[in-house]
A and B are shown apart, each in its own frame.
Chain A
Amino acid sequence: MSRLIPFFGFLLLVALFGFGIWWNTQHDQREVPSPLINKPAPAFVLPKLDDPAQTVSRDAMLGKPYLINVFASWCIACGEEHPVLMTEGKTIGVPVVGYNYKDAPEDAKDWLAKHGNPYDMIIVDREGRTAIDFGVYGAPESFLVDGKGVIRYKRIGPLTPEVIAKELKPAIAALSKEQP
């Protein structure tokens, strides 16, 4: 019987490594869970893309939930996400605020002119300073902010029809239940 112990040890290791492989295919290994979920969104004051003289602040956005979508013209995955936002952006039931991240405003405008503009409003963070407060580390990222200015959901990576149906829409539905 004791001769079998190494074999059981081997089986245990196979199970452990097998679990490791399975686990790594189940989730995005690069995803860093945001500590900002269920915390107030950082205060921001950022200019609008179409009129830099006007600024948008977190406090001015209080009262109604909205989705912040971090994008940039240089970001390849944003190009994948873009058609999804074009078709589904209006169906999610909250305004979509484009967050133009570390981008030249002209490039962003060209990009939107070429591919279409799915956003209700676009704010510009040229230096990416405010994005650090949001914990942005790579576009595209999306934040669902509720009427009290609290971040309720974050998506790292492109929004896909699947993610919108399974994660984003339920999160938005939960918000509307709270605030009749």
Chain B
Amino acid sequence: MIRRLFVGAHPVRDNPTRRPAWRRAQGALPQVLLLFLVASIAFAQAIDPLPFKDHAQEVRFQSLTRELRCLVCQNENLADSNADLARDLRHEVFNLMQQGKSDEEIKQYLVDRYSDFVLYDPPVKTSTLLLWFGPLVILLAGAAVVVVTVRRRGRAAVTVTDDKPTDEGDDW
């Protein structure tokens, strides 16, 4: 049944005498393998096979390209992008790895050409101080507001204990 769905009953093609030897194998295994093959091709489109030395290098390559931004589709990283330039840059990263360059050297190589924008993780510099520590500043400012408000309410509650327990809902 699966075979029929995939191959289709073609009067000429399905004629056993005209079918090639591998098709004539009647077991389900070839079809299952074919199914996996088709599925894996569909998934592998963005990833071009590169001759890695070993698995460790492949893992390193994957994590490095995931930290680098594709310049063409700027919300994608190099590892995932299907853009032509992303493929070229993946190959470039791969070649630099083969030359024994460290992750930092490879990043610097790309930064020299495409600026810090290629890094998903921006470096701490004077121009990025606000980006790095802005949230902390806002958090501290919020904490200061909370502390001041709580103290003021505490004082108000002490002085007017008989009037109202707190100024509930009165303040923000």
- Which A residues form the contact surface with B (CB < 8 A)? 2-3, 5-6, 30, 32-36, 102, 127-129, 132-135, 137-138
Contact = CB atoms under 8 A, between A and B. Distances in A.
Contacts of A35: 111-115
A138 B114 contact: no
A-B interface, 6 closest residue pairs, ranked by CB to CB distance from nearest: A137-B71, A135-B113, A35-B115, A32-B117, A135-B114, A128-B88
19 contacts: A2-B171, A2-B172, A3-B171, A3-B172, A6-B172, A32-B114, A34-B115, A35-B114, A35-B115, A128-B88, A132-B88, A132-B89, A132-B113, A135-B113, A135-B114, A137-B71, A137-B114, A138-B71, A138-B72
Given A35-B112, A128-B84, 8 more contacts: A30-B74, A32-B71, A32-B117, A33-B115, A102-B84, A128-B85, A137-B71, A137-B85
Nearest to A133: B113
Nearest to B88: A128
A137 B74 CA distance: 11
B92 interface: yes
Interface string B40-83: 00000000000000000000000000000001101000000000
B73 to A, nearest CB: 10
B interface majority secondary structure: helix
A5 B71 CA distance: 42
A73 to B, nearest CB: 14
Nearest to A31: B117
Interface in B1-31: none
Interface string B90-118: 00100000000000000000011111010
Contacts of B117: 32-33
A79 to B, nearest CB: 18
A132 B114 CA distance: 9
Contacts of B112: 35
A6 B113 CA distance: 46
Contacts of A3: 171-172
Nearest to A127: B88
A138 B85 contact: yes
Contacts of B172: 2-3, 5-6
A123 to B, nearest CB: 18
B48 to A, nearest CB: 15
B72 A137 contact: yes
A127 to B, nearest CB: 8
A174 B111 CA distance: 28
Contacts of A33: 115, 117
Nearest to A6: B172
